[in-house]
Every structure is written in structure tokens, then in C-alpha cells.
Amino acid sequence: MENIRIREEIREDKGKEISKGIKEQKVWVVFCRAGKLKPYRCPPPAPTPGDMVVATTEKGPELGLVVKGPVDLRMGEENLPLLERLATQEDRDQWLKNKNLEKEALSFCEERIRARELPMKLVAVESALDRSKIVFYFTAEGRVDFRQLVKDLAKRFKARIEMRQIGIRDEAKMLGGLGPCGREICCSQFMREFEPVSIRMAKDQYLILNPSKISGLCGRLMCCLCFEHETYKEVGQKFPKVGEKVKTAEGHEGEVVSINIIEEKVLISLGNARGQISVDLSQVTRKKKGEDKGGEEGNPQGQAQERDRGREKVNTQNKGQERGKRDKREGRDRSKSQKSQKDRRKEAPKR
């Protein structure tokens, strides 16, 4: 016992000496799986990654995990919230008891929602470490009047109640589940923040634009579409575009139907019912813009066809202009006749 007491005194003395010579440091704490990293300042000796700590949040004191740091404070970071202390065994036991409280609050709140027939769906419940505040997360299509519900909850749990409405992406992150790939959804597993996802990302990756294929559990576009988007854009610049005229090393000419970036192959339609062929990217060359025109200039038959197309275009334009002039003349004549009828009605003597 004396040896243990001596070691504790030595550790306290070292901490005091360090705190005198070193300024406050900063660590990052997370309070749930795949949650946002929140910075906190702490006096030395600072906790290291893997330590459980107690920190103050908007919900009150919470039990968190240090995942990054410590680093020295920068200029302007003196106003960061202060880390309270390292977590004790009593804090861990209280955290486990709060989990049972959250389950009880979830079932009771769902019962009161059904009793009051409120148009809302309860998702999750979180309690502060000291049970001073309980937060209820829910989804709804519009605004919900839950004032009577809050009174019921405050009367039952003797704590401050907060009702927080969230979106469907946050709902999927809290509840978790398996995605179309068969693995746990990314937002619940490791994504700390949502990134914007657009349909352009699916087009750049040449995916089938089927909502059931590119949508996640939340009904929105899958978050994984943005993971490899930049790589697909960079590699896709080497490929010809869909619809572009190309030529193969064997002399085949055709139009690009689709491309396969992973296998580096191009599917070419030969036209004139000759079918399609799949060719490696290295065997494909793009045709220049003036190459097709040059071939027509050297071919008399092609020149004649081009002249015929030009004459047909001019004749079509002339017919359209003549039709427009005729419609204008008929419109003017019709308006004059209508005016003359009105004048005759005015000049006619009243009987």
C-alpha cells in the first residue's frame, strides 16, 4: 500500500511540474460511433487516443472517447470548451444505466405518440450522463405540435426534454443496416459527416441510372458514389466519349456505344447492321473533326449527295417562308373584313 501511495504522489508531482512548463493542449473527442469530432482543450498531462473522458456538450456532460491528439493550441483557440476529467469506473457504470433509461424512454414515448395520434416517427433517445436532459430524435413530414407530449415525458422522467427533428439520412445513420453491397452502410460505419452527392457522379461512373440500383436505405443517392468519383473523372479523360467516331487498329470504323473504365475497353457499333465489337483502349484512335469531310470531298458520289441535301434544305426553308407570308396576308384580310362588318353595324339605322 505504501508503494502504491508513493507512486501516486510521484505521478501527481510530475503532472504539476509539467503543467507549470507546458501550455494547454487540444484533443478531439467523439461521443458515438462514426460521430463528429469535437475539439477540446485540456491542461497537461493531456489524455491520449483511447482514453475515456467526460466532456460538456449541448446535451450536458457526456462520456466520450479521445481519438486524436494531443496537440498544442493555436492562436485563437483559447475559447474552446474545457475537458472536464478522465472517466472513472462510476462514470462507465452510470453510462450503462443510462442505456436502460433510454430504452425505457423510447418505449414510453412511442406509446404516448400513438395515444395522442401524432404524425411523427421516433428514431432514437439519448440521455446526458447526469440524466439532467433527455433528447428524443424523430422524423416527420412537416411541423408537429408535441407540447403535450413533452409534458408527459417531463412528468415521467423528471428531466429537461428536447424534441429534435432529423432528416432521413440522419435516421439511417442512427439506426444502421446493410446496404445493397451486403455490407454495413458507410454513414453508420465510418462517415463522420455527409458529403453532397449528385446524379452527375453516377453518370461519370457510367452506372445504370436506376433508382433502385444507386439509392441507399435512406432513399437518397448512395454516399459511396463520391468515393471514387475523382478517379473516374481523371481516368475517363483518356477514353473517347459515347457517340464519338473512332477507328481501331484493324481498320474498323464506328461509333462508341459504351466504355468500361475498369477493364479499359470500348464497345463500338460498326453500323449498317454489322454489329458491335469490344476493343481495348490501346487499339482505339479518335477520328479528327475534318477527317470525315475530307473523305466526302475526294468522293464524287459523296459530293453529289451533299449538294442534294443542301438543295432540299434550301427548298424547305423557302417553303416555310412562303407559308409564313401567306398566313400573314390571310390574317390581315381577315382583320379588315371583321373591321368593315363592325363599321356597317354602327352605321345601320336603328329600327
Q: Which CATH class is domain 239-291?
A: mainly beta
Question: Which pLDDT band holds residue 347 (cuts at 50, 70, 90)?
Answer: low
* Cell output for 348: 345601320
Confidence (pLDDT) at 318: 65
Count other C-beta atoms under 10 Å from residue 66's C-beta: 23
Position with higher pLDDT, 4 vs 172: 172
Q: How many residues make up the chain in this entry?
A: 351
Q: Which of 157, 46, 57 is nearest to 108 (CA)?
A: 157
So what's the pLDDT on residue 191?
Answer: 92
Quick one: residue 69, left, alpha or beta (phi over 0 = left, psi -120 to 50 = alpha)?
left
d(CA 168, CA 121): 11
Burial of 70 (0-12, 13-18, 19+ CB in 10 A): buried
Q: Which residue has the higher pLDDT, 102 or 329?
A: 102
Q: What cell was used for 206?
A: 457510367
DSSP H or E segment with residue 25: strand 25-30
Residue located via cell numbers 354602327: 346
| Cβ atoms 240, 206 nearer than 8 A | no
Residues 224, 229, 230, 232: is their CA dihedral positive or negative?
Answer: positive
- The pLDDT tens digits for 252-292 are 888 998 888 888 899 999 887 778 888 898 888 887 765 55
For domain 94-166, is the CATH number 3.40.190? no
Question: pLDDT tens digits, residue range 213-235?
Answer: 899 999 999 999 999 999 998 88
- pLDDT given for residue 4 in this prediction: 41
Q: Tell me the pLDDT of the chain averaged across its residues.
A: 82
CA distance 122 to 137: 6
pLDDT in tens, 61-74: 999 999 998 998 88
75: confidence class by pLDDT, cuts 50, 70, 90: confident
- Across the range 322-349, mean pLDDT stands at 61
Q: Give the mean pLDDT of 81-107.
A: 94
176 phi and psi angles, rounded to 5 deg: 75, -175
Residues of the chain within CATH 3.30.300 domain(s) are 94-166
Residues β-bridged to residue 121: 139
**pLDDT tens for each residue of 154-169:** 999 999 999 999 999 9
CATH 2.30.30.140, the chain: domain bounds: 239-291
Identify whether the C-beta of residue 89 lies closer than 8 Å to the C-beta of residue 97. Answer: no
